[in-house]
A and B are shown apart, each in its own frame.
Chain A
Amino acid sequence: MALAPSKDTATAKGAAAKGSASAKGTASVKGTASARPPSRTPSRGFWSSTIGKKTVMAVSGLIMLAYLVAHVAGNLKVFFGPEEFNGYAHWLRVMGAPVLHHEWGLWLARIVLLAAVGAHAVSAYQLSRRDIRARPTRYVHRRKGSSYATRTMRWGGIIVGLFIVWHVLDLTTGTVHPGFESGRPYQNVIDTFSTWYGNTIYIVAMLAVGLHVRHGFWSAAQTLGVGNARRERALRLLANVLALALTAGFIAVPVGVMTGVVN
């Protein structure tokens, strides 16, 4: 079940592949030259490299992670009552004033985040496709693989991505939120978390975020070359603390609404 070189091979290379096909019959392989030519020409380019794409994923992931930390801190203001929460939401719009015009600071953040989401998703898609192509045949004898957080990075990422779409339509634009009132985020939040589906979607997504951050933060450190044997424990710990704090912090809001602490 040998695999032919992938289709993006140049014509000249295709000819070379044919030429060496006859050499494949020999049983001794290790050390023999060019029984199978590489599928493409080696490139030192940043974006064409798996490490380059991983670097883009790591940096964009860290930008989103920094945003999540700020986001959860803002969310927790819900426990100080509607004035403080709505006041904070208003401040986000006048952030940077008077240097920045109304909502410019907010839009700046949105643009950076959108770019980060885009870069993260594109590199994830390209790397995933490559990874799947690199290992097309499964072992007959399956064994338990890596940790749950590691195995669910791809699907978890897709779930979180879909959640973000719903979340923006629900609490930013109000498109899918019946009775949405612009400028009254406290009431909108209570409204969303008074529905069973609102709570379910949110809590499941936040668990996915936690798992994603758990493996993602540590991986980003490895990709950016910050990780080493000495820092291993500290990085793992920091990843777990971040994941747990974010998940607990975000879930505290629907739990608060459900238990009547926030009303």
Chain B
Amino acid sequence: MKLNLRVWRQKNAGAEGAMATYEVDGVSPDMSFLEMLDTLNEDLILRGEDPVAFDHDCREGICGACSLVINGDAHGPERTTTCQLHMRSFRDGDTIDVEPWRASAFPVVKDLVVDRSAFDRIIRSGGYVSVPTGSAPEAHATPVPKADADFAFEHAECIGCGACVAACPNGSAMLFTSAKVNHLNVLPQGAPERETRVLDMVAQMDAEGFGGCTLTGECATACPKGIPLPSIAAMNKEWLRARRKVK
């Protein structure tokens, strides 16, 4: 396959960026999107040019490091992560636009790499459970109803990639935050911090400069892990409940 790539190039956080056009030849349909970018970068290095910077790590779709907006879609046309997107989803001769996540809370560091530390700070503000260390308790001592376990697991699937923020016209992190809040708040292990968790994580989310939710549903459509849109309503419910309980 031969492709025309239009890639966002930006030297550093302070520099002006622009789309640059590259031709990539010899692309196999079985390559992942990142392998295709590796091919481009090898070529750029041989030519003595600066390779395109992009985030990646596990390349198995589970770490949440890769983050590209491909033809206007976060993670591209399939419901998966960019690393698990394959070139067979494109046609020979296609022009593909590759851009970084766009949100003021996710400033561009270089090229396609953005600073997602805002997510880390949201997690730090409440995305944990406090447990006494030492000998692990007997797992069966804390029963979890099946429905709750399923609900928690559905939300635990969030890999924190930020596609929800990238897809949202308001740059809102509501889907990410709701996944984390719902995952822990439904479980007995998360119960002691149930109220403070949602209040603090939402407060941190707002402080990071993410936008509000207008329920456009773009986030849930873009999410590679299928975190559903009603998660946001579930978090709103938790937040309103916590507001009533915590004075």
Contacts and interface: CB of A to CB of B under 8 A. Distances in A.
B156 to A, nearest CB: 17
A36 B209 CA distance: 11
Interface residues on B, range: 35 or more
A134 B210 contact: yes
Interface stretch (A51-59, A79-87, A184-192): A51-59
A135 B207 contact: no
B239 to A, nearest CB: 5
A135 B71 contact: no
Interface string B223-238: 0000010101111111
Interface string B26-66: 00000000000000000000000000010101000000110
A179 interface: no
A33 B120 contact: yes
Interface string A22-42: 001101011111111011111
Interface residues of A, number: 65
A215 B14 CA distance: 39
B169 A29 contact: no
A130 interface: yes
Contacts of B104: 3, 133-136
Contacts of A136: 104
Interface stretch (A67-75, A109-117, A226-234, A240-248): A226-234
B164 to A, nearest CB: 12
Contacts of A150: 214-217
B89 interface: no
A50 B99 contact: no
Contacts, number: 208
Interface string A107-136: 000000000000000000001001111111
Given A131-B169, A218-B215, A140 B6 contact: yes
A134 B171 CA distance: 5
B213 interface: yes
B121 A143 contact: no
Nearest to B205: A50
A49 to B, nearest CB: 6
Interface string B59-101: 0000011000101110000000000000000000000010100
A11 interface: no
A259 interface: no
A67 B236 CA distance: 25
Nearest to A41: B207
B97 A50 contact: no
B214 to A, nearest CB: 7
B184 interface: no
B214 A130 contact: no
A38 B169 contact: no
B109 A135 contact: no
A130 B47 CA distance: 44
A131 B228 contact: no
A54 B215 CA distance: 11
B175 interface: no
Contacts of B3: none
Nearest to B121: A38
B218 A135 contact: no
A38 B120 CA distance: 11
A2 B236 contact: no
Contact of A130 (B120, B211, B239): B211
B17 A1 contact: yes
A197 interface: no
Q: Which 4 pairs show the lowest CB-CB distances between chains A and B? A: A225-B237, A134-B211, A2-B107, A131-B170
Given A30-B120, A31-B120, A39-B207, 15 more contacts: A1-B16, A2-B14, A50-B174, A53-B212, A127-B214, A133-B209, A134-B210, A137-B102, A141-B72, A141-B97, A141-B99, A222-B236, A226-B233, A229-B228, A229-B230
6 contacts: A49-B202, A139-B69, A143-B72, A150-B215, A225-B240, A227-B233
Interface of A: 1-3, 5-6, 24-25, 27, 29-36, 38-44, 46, 48-55, 127, 130-143, 145-146, 150-151, 153, 215, 218-219, 221-229, 232
